[in-house]
A and B are shown apart, each in its own frame.
Chain A
Amino acid sequence: MSTTTTPSKKTISKEEWEKKLADVKINKQDLNKLVMNYLVVEGYKDAAEQFSIESGLAPMVDIASIQDRMDIRRAVQAGNVDAAIERVNDLNPDENHNLPAQANLLYLYFQILDTNPQLFFHLQQQRLIELIRRGEFAEALDFASEEMAPRGEENPEFLEELERTMALMAFEDTRQSPVSDLLHPAQRQKTASELNAAILTSQSQEKDPKLPSLLRMLVWSQNQLDEQRINYPRIDNFGTADLVTRDQ
């Protein structure tokens, strides 16, 4: 739908707009929840804890599980995939029966193994990348052929990606190579985010916080109004969120 039907340009005065704003009912508790959701999903454990106390709002998950999730995420971000995986892998549920959060992670590990082969492959790939980064080529070769190749056979995409990763070893200066992106920190971030999302999903949490959606909706709705050539007091920056009316 578009320009052809746009009626003559409409202007909404600041006064009128503010009256409309005042009519919007929003419960403080709902906003608290929005903030809490952000803190939990993004893993700000301490802040979530304090916020829960000060706002009187119960966090939607076990605070301790936030810590576990963040530990694992940070480990991957720091290139320590082995630690992240092995920590989970080495857990013996019999010895740690009083550590539900860790048992949870063990469960998660197998769940990922079973249900999310893509994430599992990406974790393994990240391990391989880290081995190559450290120059442990022999280990890398072993790992690739023993742990990864069998899975690659199941899925051609995995195989392709595996070959691409192995290509890292072929270049003297990997920074100049076509596969340099694999060594970039962004690759770790990507894997860490994927893992983080999987953990959140397994805890029946949405994997994305809602606050960014609100900000995006704000941008979107204002742009739509602009497109309909409606003149209204808009928020022109996130920093202050002041209302600005276009002079025209």
Chain B
Amino acid sequence: MSAPPRIYSSSPPRFPPPHSLHTSSIPFSSLNFGNSPPLHRLPPPSSNSTTATTSASAPTNAMEPLVPPKYPKYLDSSSYAELVQRQYELRLAAYSSDKHRESADATPILVNSAVRNPKVKSSGQPFHLSLDNADKLEDLDLKLPTAWNPNDKGHCVELSSDNRRLKYVGVGKDDTDAASVRANFPMRPQCGIFYFEVEIVSKGRDGYIGIGFCWQSNLLNRLPGWDDHSWGYHGDDGHSFCSSGNGKPYGPKFGTGDTIGCGVNFQDMSAFYTKNGVDLGTAFQGLQGASLYPCVGFRTPGEQVEVNFGEREFKFDIEHYVKVRERGKEDFTMVQATNTLARMQEAKGKLLADISNIPITESAISRGAGDSISTPSKAAPPSTPASTSKPSSPAPPPRLNSIDDMESSKILHEVVLSYMVHHGFSDSAKTFAKDISESRKTDSMALLKDSSMDTDPIDLIRDEQDIQQRQEIRHALMAGDVDKAINLCEEHYPSVLDDNDMLMFKLECHKFIELMRQYAEQQGFHPKLARSCSSSTKSAIDTYVPAREGMDLDDVPVPQQRGYKRRRSIHEEEDSVDSLSNNDDDEEDDDSEDDEEDSLDGLLGTAMTYGQQLQQNYGRDERPEVQSTLVETFSLIAYRDPFQSPVAHVLDDLRRDELVNQLNSAILVSRNLPGMPRLEHMYKQTQVAIQELLFSGNGKAAMMDLRKDVL
């Protein structure tokens, strides 16, 4: 076993009891825990950290300016907003870790932790922004159209200095004199819906103005909509042009003073227009392409337009319906908003319906089956195969065939059962296995199917003893009995903790936390039921207890008198009664006080002795994770009510659960079993797949919210 043994020393503790520190005014951050990093590097970095301030400021070199993302307000709740915000954070993190490294080189104090930090990137390069094949979110180009591109226009079009106003200055004799201009960036499918408006400043001679969008590859001596990969709505006749020289009647004509809006819905790949704030309905469906550029085209002299990509208020209230989508139906009046909202919901509903028809079978998930499944399913099969009469009901649930049903429930059963087995929920697993083997018998009788083909679900619980053992370990840890958990683990799975010294270390630290918890609870402190993060700051200040130099473990090995408080051993409990009652709010009732104080200091003594041992064993371990865990663990001492301290999270049940999971995983891995339940892996896989789809501009994926949709 590589981790140091746990030793229960009976020597006097070198830790001062926390209440002896109450009145000290020395800032907590000046404490020194042997080789531990200075405390101000703990979250929250309340004060003084110089690195923190530099990282927040904008970079000064030639890098891409690192400013918070900006986008039109109606995108506030879109996947786009989320994505671009995460990208910003990632870039910020990359930037500050580069900075961190630089400062680490300069200040030797930080060398250890910084150099060892694997997250520090070796390159100090600016971000590489490429349009295609971006593998990482950091590198993904998410810039939205903000103006026309002066370098991407047909001849005879003049741009204003801000590149938003366009004027046609050609002769405009015939169609060969047409000229278009593309925006500087494409509309991103991640937006779900992208919307922009064009005001017709002047319709010129004939008002042959086309508003729409096209690919980057389209020629610009044409009007939008005339060619493949190009779509447009034309002012002279009000027709919509869908990749064709022949338009179709669509909306009203438009001319001087009108404002035409164009919205592309990437969720169902359709587009709609608005005129002066009124929705004109869907113009195009079945759009193609992941990079569609807003585009305006002219054909007769004097035509002039100005674009609004969201920097000003739109005529059409697109923001309103996005808000409405968030909040539900509250305050919902706009007709056009209803339409657009309905369009989005319809698209998502259709997608979910398609997905709900995907069979859960091995052949569906195995490779190569993709083609047959991704084609949207045909109309739901009628509930009755009879030809003499129509289906009985208007909305029968589509029935998969029963063989698929059987396979699907078998797969689901196994996913659930393996989840229970994984976590050592032994009773659940046994009960569930019994339940499903019964229902399987009923099913197969009902469906006239031979059940002997299936394995008995009970067989899935291969090693009941193993489940039971892991369950015991879980119980022990959840009850706060770390020793028992460790003992059980060493008894049943001897190699696990030997092979995972970090885990062993965490368990040992956790034991200290549990001791401190007991102590705090005996003192009458209890976990806050609803601890809100924001309000905890204030209470943390109230209960914040500055510690004092007595905490310096390394150079003060001998207990000695220090002012009016001194270090005490377990045998000096009586003294503590006074100091405690002095500092306490007299919450305990008087009768039991003496007894409580006795056991209380006993507990504290044990904790301190143990903590000292921990410090001895690991204090010189330079691994950053060890050091930061030690700091976090020991900082509990500084607070009178640890449940309300900034480190209260270590006392949370979630922390226990986390440890249980880590230990459980380690045990399973040591037995050559997966360290993660299938269910969890599938969830993560789906999440990452959707994320990748989003990166690659899949509009359908932009509609998905896995957490909301399945959790």
Measuring CB to CB, which residues of chain A are less than 8 angstroms from any residue of chain B?
1-2, 4-5, 7-8, 10, 12, 16-17, 20-21, 24, 26, 28, 30-31, 33-35, 38-39, 44, 46-47, 49-51, 53-55, 74, 77, 118, 122, 157, 160-161, 163-164, 178-179, 181, 185-186, 188-190, 193-194, 197, 210-228, 230, 232, 234-241, 243-244, 246
A47-B432 CB under 8 A given contacts A2-B288, A161-B392: yes
Are A226 and B367 in contact (CB-based, < 8 A)? yes
Contacts of B532 in A (CB 8 A): none
List, in ascending order, chain B residues with CB within 8 A of A212's CB. 360, 408, 412
For this complex, 16 residue pairs linking A to B, each with C-beta atoms less than 8 Å apart, are: A1-B189, A1-B290, A5-B288, A7-B132, A12-B692, A31-B419, A31-B679, A35-B420, A50-B425, A161-B392, A186-B402, A186-B447, A211-B416, A214-B710, A217-B706, A239-B414
Of B360, B367, B430, B661, the residue contacting A28 (CB under 8 A) is B661
Given A10-B133, A213-B355: A219 and B412 interface contact (C-beta under 8 Å)? no
CB distance from A120 to the nearest CB of B (A): 12
Q: Which residues of B contact A (CB under 8 A)?
A: 132-133, 135, 189, 215, 229, 269, 287-291, 354-356, 358, 360, 362, 364-367, 369-370, 373-374, 383-390, 392-394, 396-397, 399, 402, 408, 411-412, 414-416, 419-420, 423, 425-428, 430-432, 434-436, 442, 446-448, 471, 657, 661, 677-693, 696-701, 704, 706, 709-711
CB–CB B684/A238 < 8 A: no
Establish whether residues B657 and A157, one from each chain, have CB atoms under 8 Å apart when the complex forms.
no
User: Are A193 and B392 in touch, CB under 8 angstroms?
Assistant: no
Known A24-B683, A74-B442, A239-B414: A221·B693 in contact at CB below 8 Å: yes
- Contact between A238 and B415 (Cβ–Cβ < 8 Å)? yes
10 closest Cβ contacts across the A-B interface? A221-B689, A47-B432, A54-B425, A50-B428, A161-B392, A51-B428, A24-B684, A185-B446, A223-B370, A50-B427
How far apart are B305's CB and chain A's nearest CB, in angstroms? 28
Q: Which residue of A lies closest to B688 (CB)?
A: A20
B138 to chain A, nearest CB (A): 13
Q: Give the chain A neighbours of B269 by CB distance below 8 A.
A: 1
Secondary structure of the A contact surface, majority rule: helix
Closest chain-B Cβ to A201's Cβ sits at a distance in Å of 13
With A1-B269, A46-B435: A235-B696 Cβ-Cβ less than 8 Å: no
**Contact call A157/B435, Cβ cutoff below 8 A:** no
A54-B427, A122-B393 known; A241 vs B681 contact (CB < 8 Å): yes
B678→A241 contact, CB < 8 A: yes
- The answer on a CB contact under 8 Å between B436 and A44 is yes
Beyond A178-B387, A181-B385, is A217–B373 a contact (Cβ under 8 Å)?
no
How distant is B572 from chain A, measured CB to nearest CB, in Å?
A: 41
What are the residues of chain B within 8 A of A186 when measuring CB–CB?
A: 399, 402, 447
Looking at B229, B356, B682, B700, the one whose CB has the most chain A CB atoms below 10 A away is B682
CB pair B386 A47 closer than 8 Å: no
Beyond A77-B442, A210-B711, 4 extra complex contacts between A and B, CB < 8 Å: A49-B431, A214-B686, A236-B365, A241-B685
